[in-house]
Structure 1
Amino acid sequence: MIVSPCEIAVTETHESEPPSDPPRTGIFADLTPLKHSPAFARLWGGNAIAGIGTQMTIVAVGLHIYDLTQSTFAVSLVALFALVPMLVFGLYGGMLADAFDRRTLALVTAIVAWCSTVTLALLAWTHVDQAWPFYLVMTINTVAATVLGTTRQAILPRLLPIELLPAASALSGISAGVMVTVGPALAGVLVATVGVQWTFTTDVVLFAFAFAGIASLPRLEPHGDVRSAGFASVLEGLRFLKTAPNIRMSFIVDLVAMTFGQPRVLFPAVGMLLLGGGAITVGVLTAGVAVGAFITSVFSGRLGALRHQGIAIRNSIAVFGAATLAFGVVLLVAALSGGVASESVVNWPALIVATLCMVVAGGADNVSSIFRMTLLQASAPDAMRGRIQGIFTVVVTGGPRVGDLLAGSLTALTALWVPPLFGGIVIIIVVWLLVRMNPRFATYDALNPQP
Structure 2
Amino acid sequence: MTSAPDRFRSRLLPDTAPLWSSRDFRLVWSSGAVTLFGSIFTMTAVPLQIAELTGSPWAVGAVGAVELVPALVFGLYGGVLADRADRRAVALVSEVALAVLSALLLANALLGTPAAWPLYVAAGLAAALQGIQQPSVEAMVPRLVPPDQLVAAGALLSLRWSVGGVVGPAAAGLVIATAGVPAAFLVDLATFLLSIALLARVRPVPSARDAGKPRLGEFVDGVRYAARRPDLIGTYLADLAATVFALPTALFPFLADDLDATWALGLLYSAGAVGSLLAATTGGWTERVHRHGRMVLLSAALVGAATAAAAFAPGLGAVLLCLIVAGGAHWLGDTFRSAIWNQSVPDELRGRAAGLEMLIGSAGPALGDLRAGGLAARQGIRAALRTGGLLCFGSAAVLAAAIPALWRYDQRAHLGTHHPTHHPAHRPAHRPAHRVDPAEEPAP
User: What is the rounded CA distance, in whole Å, between the counterparts of 1:404 and 1:125 in structure 2?
Assistant: 34
| Cα shift at 1:276 | 4.6
Residue 184 of structure 2: aligned partner: 199
- Where in structure 2 are the equivalents of 1:47-446 lying within 5 Å? 47-65=32-50, 68-69=54-55, 71=57, 75-126=60-111, 133-224=118-209, 228-267=213-252, 276=261, 281-329=264-312, 350=316, 352-410=317-375, 415-446=380-411
Deviates more, 1:206-215 or 1:161-170: 206-215
Q: Which of 10, 13, 19 in structure 2 is aligned with 1:34?
A: 19
User: What is the rounded CA distance, in whole Å, between the counterparts of 1:127 and 1:69 in structure 2?
Assistant: 18
| Cα shift at 1:216 | 1.2
1:108 is paired with a residue of what secondary structure?
A: helix
- Counterpart contact for 1:103–1:219, Cα < 8 Å: yes
Percent sequence identity over matched residues? 31
Look up the equivalent residue of 2:42 and give its one-letter code.
T
1:57–1:413 CA distance, 2 compared to 1 (3 A): farther
Look up the equivalent residue of 1:148 and give its one-letter code.
Q
2:12 is paired with a residue of what secondary structure?
A: coil
Report how many residues are paired: 407
- Counterpart contact for 1:181–1:286, Cα < 8 Å: no
Look up the equivalent residue of 1:443 and give its one-letter code.
R
Q: Deviations over 1:132-152 (max 9, x none)?
A: 653432222222223222111
Q: Deviations over 1:288-323 (max 9, x none)?
A: 222221221222222112121111111111111222
Query: Is 1:44 aligned to residue 29 of structure 2?
Result: yes
| Cα shift at 1:209 | 3.0
2:239 is paired with a residue of what secondary structure?
A: helix
- Gap regions ≥5 residues in structure 1: 1-23, 334-348
Look up the equivalent residue of 1:150 and give its one-letter code.
P
- Counterpart contact for 2:76–2:131, Cα < 8 Å: no
- Counterpart contact for 1:187–1:283, Cα < 8 Å: no
TM-score for the superposition, normalised by structure 2 = 0.82
Q: Deviations over 1:149-208 (max 9, x none)?
A: 211110011111111000001111211111101112223334455444433332222233
Q: Deviations over 1:4-39 (max 9, x none)?
A: xxxxxxxxxxxxxxxxxxxx9622111110111011
User: What is the rounded CA distance, in whole Å, between the counterparts of 1:283 and 1:250 in structure 2?
Assistant: 31
- Counterpart contact for 1:185–1:287, Cα < 8 Å: no
- Counterpart contact for 1:178–1:294, Cα < 8 Å: yes
1:195–1:283 CA distance, 2 compared to 1 (3 A): farther
Deviates more, 1:266-275 or 1:383-392: 266-275
1:63–1:427 CA distance, 2 compared to 1 (3 A): farther
Coordinate RMSD, CA, aligned: 2.9
1:389–1:64 CA distance, 2 compared to 1 (3 A): same
- Counterpart contact for 1:79–1:402, Cα < 8 Å: no
User: What is the rounded CA distance, in whole Å, between the counterparts of 2:256 and 2:108 in structure 1?
Assistant: 25
Deviates more, 1:185-194 or 1:421-430: 185-194
2:283 is paired with a residue of what secondary structure?
A: coil
- Counterpart contact for 1:75–1:265, Cα < 8 Å: no
